[in-house]
Amino acid sequence: MGHTVRLIIALTLLAGFALAAPAAAQADQRCFAETGLCISGPIRAYWERGGGLPVFGLPITPQSVELVEGQPLQAQWFERDRLEIQADGRVTAGRLGVERLAQLGTPWQPGPGAPASPGCAAFPETGHQVCGAFAAYWRANGGLERFGLPVTGEFTTELEGRPYTVQYFERRRFELHPEIGPSAVLLGLLGSEVRANAAPAQPPPAPQPPPPSYNNCQADPNADVAPNFPVRIVGIDDHREEVLLRNVSDAVVNLDGWIMCSIRGNQRHDGIGGTLAPGETRTYRYAGSGTIWSNGEDDDGALYNPQGQLISYWRD
């Protein structure tokens, strides 16, 4: 079994997800009296590291599963942004600039693609330029990763009854606020605007497990159609005899009665149980005697619910 590769994967996941029990996860929360909502885990870490309140605003929804560009992801909305936990554990910002333009009936169009003017940066990918105060802010506060490419040029629009110079990027809207200072740039409240004007969201259908197929940890015929939902195997450390499980749903999952199998050894990994909170990742050490994973050979893992249905499959 590729122990080094699995260990790297497990360490990466551990860096991005809280491994604490629900009580510890609650202590990890940061709550805001203004909205009565909290942030925690990877989203809290990204929010605090990325600039906090001035950059993202207050949370306006709890974290939950949302369908983002056809993929169910853990996400949370803020006044100025939507933060998303990708399948690999990275936190990214939503493409709210593009979404808001589409809501307004003015989807972004390629620009003229002219060479960069003095004091400007040109982006051939979209044909638009970023100039002056907007260019300085873009460079100083995260650039492409934080804001994305420009998808409009500068133009004047009315915000809260006053005209402002603005420019849209894939993920944000920059606004020039001369009442604060001649080069004062603020980020638009796109999280609030996009959410307030969105069509009612339909929750993605939950993947369904195949028929019961548990057979005393023998090879499973449903390995290729395991839904990996609501719980996914995200790592197996054969040296430590540990399995890493993540709740990828938006509901608490009770693992009492679930079965984790070593397929090559046809053995059960004792020690699976308790509850997993939404988005929580936890390590389960083998609670039996001897070893089942440290066998020097490839060893797939299979996770079954109490009904014997295959929920997740890990290919070694």
Domain closes at, from 192, 225, 246 = 192
The verdict on 75 and 108 lying in the same domain is no
Indicate whether 77 belongs to any domain: yes
Indicate whether 28 belongs to any domain: no
Number of structural domains, the chain?
3
The verdict on 168 and 132 lying in the same domain is yes
The verdict on 104 and 168 lying in the same domain is yes
Indicate whether 137 belongs to any domain: yes
The verdict on 76 and 148 lying in the same domain is no
Domain closes at, from 127, 158, 192 = 192
The whole-number pLDDT of residue 201 equals: 62
The verdict on 185 and 148 lying in the same domain is yes
The verdict on 76 and 159 lying in the same domain is no
Which CATH number characterizes residue 219's domain?
2.60.40
Q: Is the pTM of this model over 0.75?
A: no
Provide the domain limits for residue 221: 3-20+207-314
Q: What distance in Å separates the CA atoms of residue 151 and residue 130, rounded to the nearest whole number? A: 10
- Can you give the pLDDT of all 316 residues of the chain as single tens digits? 444 434 333 334 334 443 333 434 455 899 999 999 999 999 999 999 988 998 899 999 999 998 888 889 999 999 999 999 998 899 999 999 999 999 999 999 999 998 988 989 999 999 999 999 999 999 998 899 889 999 999 999 999 899 999 999 999 999 999 999 989 999 999 999 999 998 776 677 889 999 999 999 999 999 999 999 999 999 999 989 999 999 999 999 999 999 999 999 899 999 999 999 999 999 999 999 889 987 678 899 999 999 999 999 999 8
The first and second tokens of residue 205, run together, are 């259908």
The verdict on 140 and 77 lying in the same domain is no
Indicate whether 76 belongs to any domain: yes
